[in-house]
Amino acid sequence: MRLDIISIFPEYFAPLDVSLIGKARRTGLLDVHVHDLRSWTHDRHRTVDDTPYGGGPGMVMKPEPWGEALDAVAPPDGPAPRLVVPTPSGRPFTQAMAAEMAAEEHLLFACGRYEGIDSRVVAEAATRMPVSEVSLGDFVLAGGEVAVLVMVEAIGRLIPGVLGNAESVTDDSFAPGAMESLLEGPVYTKPPVWRDRAVPEILLSGNHGAIARWRRDQALRRTAQHRPELLGRLDPEKLDKHDRKV
Ligand code: 6GU
C-alpha cells in the first residue's frame, strides 16, 4: 500500500520509522511519502494561511498550495487515491473504516492546521477522487498530524503481513465477528501469583470451551461498565442465553 501525507510539519511523522509500521516500510509492505505543504508556496514567507472570510478567530489554510500539492501527489490523469482529511467535523473513525482503508491501494492524507483548510479544496478534490473527512472523537486537536499517526497505525496493522500471525487481529475489541461492539476483557501472563493476586483459575484449567465462555463474560461486563451504549448494538441473533445472564 502507498501512503502520501501532506503537512506543514513533516517532522511529526518520524514515528512512522519505528516499530510495526517502520518494519512494514522496511519490508516493502508500506510505501510512505511525507510532503511539506510549503514546498507548493511561491512567496518569500512560504505563506499557507490567511484570515477567514466572514470574520472570526484564527486563520484558514489557503487553497492555492493545497491545490498544487494535490495535483502533484495525485495527478488528475493518473489513478486516484482515496483522500483522507482529518477534521473534528468529519465522520467518526471506526475499526470498520480502518479495515476498508486497509484494503485501498493508495491513501493520501491532507493535514490541516489552524481553523482548517479552505472548503473549496475538498470540494474540488471530490470531483476527481473519493474523499473521507474523518474525526477521531469529540475533542479538538491542534492539527491533523497526530490524527494521521493514529489512523496509519490502525490501518497499517490490518494490512496482511504487517502483524505476525502470533498477534491475530480477530480477538481485538471492535473486530468484526465475536468481538463486534465489545471491549476486550482482562489479560494475564506469568507468574501465576503476583503481589498476592492470583490469575483467574479458569485460565489455567486447559478447558478451552470454558475459557472462551469466561472471556466473553468478561468482555460483556467490561463493555457494560465502560461503554454501556455499545450493548445496544450487539446483534440479538448472536446473543445466547448465557450472555443475557451476565
Ligand atoms: Cl481527525 N483532527 C483534528 N484536528 N482534531 C480532531 C480530530 C481530527 N479528531 C478529533 N479531533
232 and 141 assigned to the same domain: no
Pick 165 or 198 by higher pLDDT. 198
> Which residue has cell 451504549?
229
Last residue of a domain, one of 98, 128, 156: 156
Interval 122-135: pLDDT, tens: 999 999 999 999 99
* Mean pLDDT within 25-50: 98
Interval 130-164: pLDDT, tens: 999 999 999 999 999 999 999 999 999 999 999 98
Most ligand 1 atoms within 8 A of CB, residue of 97, 111, 136 to mutate: 136
Residue 38 lies in a domain: yes
Residue 164 lies in a domain: no
Residue 30 lies in a domain: yes
Closest Cα partner for 143 from 16, 10, 50, 35?
A: 10
Q: What are phi and psi of 176, to 5 degrees?
A: -60, 145
Task: Give the integer Cα–Cα distance in Å for 95 and 109.
Answer: 18
Q: What is the pLDDT of residue 197?
A: 98
8 and 97 assigned to the same domain: yes
245 and 150 assigned to the same domain: no
Q: Residue 181 sits in a domain of what CATH number?
A: 1.10.1270.20
112 labeled binding residue: yes
Residue 163 lies in a domain: no
Residue 219 lies in a domain: yes
Q: What is the pLDDT of residue 168?
A: 75
Task: Give the integer Cα–Cα distance in Å for 65 and 20.
Answer: 32
Q: Tell which atom from ligand 1 comes closest to the C-alpha of 86.
A: 1
90 and 127 assigned to the same domain: yes
Helix-helix angle 145-156:19-26, to 10 degrees: 70
Task: Give the integer Cα–Cα distance in Å for 236 and 239.
Answer: 5
234 labeled binding residue: no
Burial of 127 (0-12, 13-18, 19+ CB in 10 A): exposed
Q: Tell which atom from ligand 1 comes closest to the C-alpha of 90.
A: 1
Q: What is the pLDDT confidence band of residue 167, given thresholds at 50, 70 and 90?
A: low
Our count of domains for the chain comes to: 2
> 3-state DSSP call for residue 107?
strand
Q: Residues near ligand 1 with C-beta < 6 Å?
A: 86-88, 134-137, 139-141, 143-144, 147
Let me know: does 107 contact 81? Beta carbons within 8 Å. yes
139 labeled binding residue: yes
Q: How many CB atoms lie within 10 A of CB 39?
A: 13
Domain of residue 64, residue span: 2-156
Active site residue ranges: 88, 115, 157, 172
Pick 187 or 238 by higher pLDDT. 187
94 and 200 assigned to the same domain: no
- State the complex-level ipTM: 0.96
Task: Give the integer Cα–Cα distance in Å for 213 and 219.
Answer: 10
Q: What is the pLDDT confidence band of residue 28, given thresholds at 50, 70 and 90?
A: very high
13 labeled binding residue: no
Query: Residue 89 C-alpha to ligand 1 middle, in angstroms?
Result: 8
Query: Residue 135 C-alpha to ligand 1 middle, in angstroms?
Result: 5
Query: Residue 12 C-alpha to ligand 1 middle, in angstroms?
Result: 15
Q: Tell which atom from ligand 1 comes closest to the C-alpha of 136.
A: 9
34 and 113 assigned to the same domain: yes
Secondary structure letter of residue 37 according to DSSP = G
pTM equals: 0.95
At 112, the amino acid letter reads G
Residue 124 lies in a domain: yes
Pick 167 or 183 by higher pLDDT. 183
Residue 73 C-alpha cell reads as 501527489
Let me know: does 92 contact 135? Beta carbons within 8 Å. yes
121 and 212 assigned to the same domain: no
Interval 197-217: pLDDT, tens: 999 999 999 999 999 999 999
Report the Cα 229 to chain-centroid distance in Å: 21
Q: How many CB atoms lie within 10 A of CB 47?
A: 13
245 and 187 assigned to the same domain: yes
Residue 162 lies in a domain: no
Ligand 1, atom 8, residue with closest C-alpha: 87
What are the angstrom distances between the C-alpha of 141 and each of 6, 93, 152, 196, 200? 17, 15, 17, 42, 40
Q: What is the pLDDT confidence band of residue 166, given thresholds at 50, 70 and 90?
A: low
Residue 91 lies in a domain: yes
